[in-house]
Amino acid sequence: MATPTTTPSAPPTGRVADKVCVVTGAGSGIGRAIAHRLAEEGGKVLCADLSENTARETAAEITAAGGVAEGRAVDVSSSAEVDAMVEAAVARWGRVDVLVNNAGVNLPGLLHEVPDDIIDKTLDVNVKGQLYGCRAVIPHMLTAGGGSIVNISSVNGLVSEPFLTVYSASKGASVMLTKGVALDYVKQGIRCNVICPGWVDTPINHAHAKLLGGLEHVYDTIDSFQPIGRPGQPREIANVALFLASDEASFMTGSVVAVDGGMTSQ
Ligand code: ADP
């Protein structure tokens, strides 16, 4: 199936109007698309990324399109930096209504060849980064009487693939930390849900593609693992993140939402 060049979206109706949103990993791929989608629907978006330049680029794109956004650097593996990111959003806009924990790394390899620093980095960014993010926004959401946290895991939080033991371990943890937060704060109006994207066309997959025989080979054979027969586009994940962030998803918490072209239906 041909990859669509545009992703259908309903005309903007202010689905997150005036909500203060923080998006990590907003400088690229899925995070950038989520930042755009939230801004298109009226959110004020703090775009944060390890790369300050790409975070500011995303914010500049949003501002140029008439939205409200700021960019800043964050290393989500540092709890102090995550706290400072959340405090910056509160200082600028008074509260945080939506957190999207999207920043992530995928450093593939066979487990017996993976050194300590790669295991540490994967868990520090993908697991601790999401825990730090949730921990930093929860007090503000409790004060405000609620909020929505959207964690970005992966299909590899549900099923593994060759070379992805460490990544899969981290993404499985993302699914479970989501359920933990959902349960502990459900009575206080904080919803926490997790998206498990399939193979999406972003740089995070490039190292994995290399081990599988190259990106071209992966895309030629994508039917064998992603039944829809094409890679997903970042905006196709962002549409779901927007929905979960919005009040339209008011009955959803602790939900694990696969957005994967049928991959986990096999
Ligand atoms: P995907 O969009 O599929 O998640 P990308 O590689 O395009 O994959 O995007 C991941 C984003 O996460 C990048 O912009 C990257 O800079 C960011 N990122 C990676 N590590 C960190 C980190 N420690 N702190 C903040 N952002 C990070």
Q: The domain that contains 176 carries what CATH number?
A: 3.40.50.720
Q: What does the pLDDT look like over 151-209, one tens digit per residue? A: 999 999 999 999 999 999 999 999 999 999 999 999 999 999 999 999 999 999 989 99
Q: What is the mean pLDDT of the segment spanning 254-263?
A: 98
Q: Which member of 132, 167, 185, 219 is catalytic?
A: 167
| Ligand 1 and 77: CB distance under 6 A | yes
Rounded to the nearest whole angstrom, what is the distance from the C-alpha of residue 79 to the centroid of ligand 1?
17
Q: Is residue 1 part of a domain?
A: no
Domain assignment of residue 37, yes or no: yes
Residue 11 lies in a domain: no
**Tally of domains in the chain:** 1
Per the domain annotation, does 84 fall within a domain?
yes
CA atoms within 13 A on the CB side of 81: 16
This complex has an ipTM of 0.99
**C-alpha pair distances (Å), 265 with each of 96, 107, 179:** 35, 26, 22
Let me know if 132 is a catalytic residue: no
pTM above threshold 0.80: yes
Range of the domain at 123: 20-258
Three-class SS of residue 147? strand
For ligand 1, say whether the CB of 241 is within 6 Å of any of its atoms: no
Ligand 1 contacts CB of residue 172 (under 6 A): no
Residue 259: which H helix or E strand, with range? strand 256-259
- Position 245 in a domain: yes
**Local confidence band at 127 (pLDDT 50, 70, 90 cut-offs):** very high
pLDDT tens profile 9-28: 878 999 999 999 999 999 99
Mean residue pLDDT of the chain comes to 97
41 inside domain: yes
CB of residue 30 inside a 6 A radius of ligand 1: yes
Does residue 250 lie in a domain region?
Answer: yes
Q: Is position 15 within any domain? A: no
What one-character DSSP code corresponds to residue 137? H
